[in-house]
Structure 1
Amino acid sequence: MKIGICGTGRMGSSIAQRLMSVGHEVGVWNRSSAKTKPLTDAGAKLFASPAELVDGCEAVIVMLLNDAAIEAVYRGPNGILKSKLTGKFVIDMSTVGPETMRSVGAAVAQQGAAFVECPVGGSTGPAKEGKLFGLVGGEGRDVERAMPVLQQLCRRIEHVGGLGAGATIKLAVNLPLLVYWQALGEALTICRPLNLPADRLIDILSDTAGTPTAMKGRGATIARVLGGRPLGETAFSLGAAKKDLATAVQFANSIHAQLPVAASALACFEEAEAAGLGDADATTVSTRWPQRPPR
């Protein structure tokens, strides 16, 4: 199948690699074309605009950073909605607000295409291995049509409702993990007077009921950073994490709910981003906090 990838950041590129590895013909578009080069070098076809990408492919997967990017890529002068959408299908894997997914999904459907939202749990490693967790929203017939592609990308797929439902669940999935990274930084701060070796401290904290599964993959890296070594490759950026927390808080406000803990964590992520750490891994918020100068 000819599948277009609209947005080749870390996750979009990893999804493209996965699809190429299982035999699909992949087209790519990204606002910064330099980010498409590793994919085009590997055989992907570069398109000049989102509209041309849709016109040149049978299906398109969208993976963009935020609501503003979604609006620009769908509704811009050469955006997805300017293409010949009839008969195509669009899978949007971006993590954005539920209303944004409902809005662009309705606009795509009005032009005769199928639309499914499928924000995913998992970072670049699982994406390359086809082991993401797909949180799907959309009409049953559209989900059924998208399922063969989603099954090649995801280890588990949950159809949780109509458009906007996938976005809602994804915000709920990310929220406690991102709060945990800040809470871990605070836990490390109160342990600082003990002067325990970083790897031992992380090992102790990891072997407790309050530790999320993500620590299995990130704990050793966090310990290395605490010991003065570089963090290494970014799996999920601090800036993207901040955006997800902000989106969750904004959505909660729209339904007259309060998220006081998430709002406090958001302020800490915003401070870390302002300090120049937006492109670092989200776990940097954990290692930065105990080293932060007292105020």
Structure 2
Amino acid sequence: MQLALDRAQLLDDAGTLTALPDDKEEQHMRVGVAGLGRMGSAIAARLMEVGHQITAWNRSADKVEPLARAGARIAASPAELVGQVEAVFTILTDRAAIAGVYEGPAGLLAGNAKDKLFIEMSTVQPETAVALAEKVRAKGGVFVECPVGGTVGPAREGKLLGVAGSTAEDFARAKPLLAQLCRRVEHVGPVGAGSSMKLALNLPLLISYQALGESYLLCRHLGLDPKWLMEFLSETSGAPNVLKTRWPKIAAALTGGDMGPTASDIDTICKDLASMLAEGKVRGVTLPLVEKTLAVYDEAVRAGWGKRDAAALPAYWPSRATRPGEER
């Protein structure tokens, strides 16, 4: 694969370009990535790094420029993109964003989708994935949903956790690509099953941020260094797994320090919690912890926290104005 600049370059976690190793393998497949948010950009960079020829598309040109400088091809539309590749990845915000990329006269499905592999990685309700699969298959395409656990760092390192929903045959076709993005990828059932599993695995994580904030309130009066405290809590049996890797960011949030680049923002967290509640209604179950946690996070968004990193959430509850019965 011919790459621009000095043979080859890629995006790092902060969005800057870094040189590829000289022994990088040559191209394996022609792969498209439609939608270059934080995760889409990281996935495109990872796939380029392991040797695939990447064609990218995004609504705003500023998101495609770093990949273009690294050697990716840029499509003028999703329809044009799908005509140039063998497989397409999408990881988008919600149902509306998915419709905007797949449908319409310039959407992915307006291009030559026959026999193309579509790997959809967004966190949405199962019914969204099922409806999209039907549309892709009607155009002769192959559809695999595979939402992932992990943020930008794991995506760049190929260490995501994937939960795929598809036929066994379609999963077998997608697995080699997914294995280059994921430290572990599991086929959990037909289309829709992956989305169900992603909501399930996100639930304890998102609630844990609020639990950490409340835990901090119980010992804040001791005046302990939040950095020491979060590191110490990460060693306990009750610590959520996320604390073991993100405690420095959480401690920075508690002290008002620099948290570095945002991996996943609070607006997205609220969207995911709302999807859990909606899916709970579909399944005829109540999710009281999700409901109460979403109420707190919605309050944080109204207070201007929506674009902050999710790891800032443990700092929101302690930061609120003093209310009756609470001690700052």
Q: TM-score, normalised by structure 1?
A: 0.96
Q: CA RMSD in A?
A: 1.2
**Residue 236 of structure 1 aligns to which amino acid in structure 2?**
S
Q: Does 1:50 align with 2:78?
A: yes
Deviates more, 1:140-149 or 1:72-81: 72-81
Report the residue type matching 1:136 in the other structure: A
Give 1:169 shift. Answer: 0.2
Quote the residue 2:112 is aligned against: 84
SS of 2:170's equivalent? helix
Partner of 1:293: 321
Deviations 1:237-274 (A, max 9, x none): 11111111111111111121111101111111212222
CA distance in 2, matches of 1:95, 1:49: 23
- Asked if structure 1 preserves the Cα contact closer than 8 Å seen for 2:210 and 2:313, the reply is yes
Whole-angstrom CA distance in 2 between matches of 1:139 and 1:57: 22
User: Aligned equivalents of 2:60 and 2:278: distance in 1?
Assistant: 28
Q: Supply the distance in 1 between the matched residues of 2:111 and 2:259 (Cα, whole angstroms).
A: 42
- More deviation in 275-284 or 13-22? 275-284
Q: Which amino acid aligns with 1:118?
A: C
**CA–CA separation in structure 2 for the residues paired with 1:92 and 1:278:** 25
Residue 174 of structure 2, aligned match among 143, 146, 150: 146
User: What are the superposed Cα offsets for residues 90-113 of structure 1, whole Å, 9 maximum, x if unpaired?
Assistant: 000111110000000111011111
Query: Aligned equivalents of 2:130 and 2:313: distance in 1?
Result: 32
Q: Which has the higher contact order (CA 8 A, sep 6+)?
A: 1
Match of 1:26, SS? strand
SS in 2 for 1:160: strand
Residue 97 (structure 1) aligns with: 125
The 3 A distance-change label for structure 1 pair 228 and 278 is: closer
TM-score by length of 2: 0.87
Matches within 5 A, 1:162-177: 162-177=190-205
Match of 1:239 in 2: 267
Structure 2 partner of 1:210: 238
Q: Match of 2:25?
A: none
**Matched residue SS, 1:201:** helix
Alpha carbons 2:249, 2:311 under 8 Å: kept: no
Deviations 1:14-68 (A, max 9, x none): 1111111011110111122221221111111111211111111111001101111
Deviant stretches of 4+, over 4 Å: none
Structure 2 partner of 1:179: 207
Write out per-residue CA displacement over residues 206-247 of structure 1, whole angstroms, 9 at most, x where no aligned residue: 222111111111112212332331222111211111111111
Gaps of 5+ in 2: 1-28, 324-328
- How many residues align? The count is 295
Distance 2:150 2:34 in 1: 19
| Aligned counterpart for 2:49 among listed residues 21, 24, 29 | 21
Q: Distance in 1 between matches of 2:178 and 2:198?
A: 16
Single out whichever of 217-226 and 251-260 deviates more from structure 2.
217-226
**Amino acid in the other structure paired with 1:277:** W
- Contact 2:33–2:57, Cα closer than 8 Å, also in 1: yes
Instruction: Compare the two structures and name the one with the higher helix fraction.
Output: 1
Which secondary structure does the structure 2 equivalent of 1:214 belong to?
Answer: helix
CA contact (8 A) 2:93 2:123 kept: yes
Q: Which residue of 2 aligns with 1:266?
A: 294
Among 137, 140, 147, the alignment partner of 1:112 is 140
Query: Which of 38, 54, 66 matches 2:94?
Result: 66
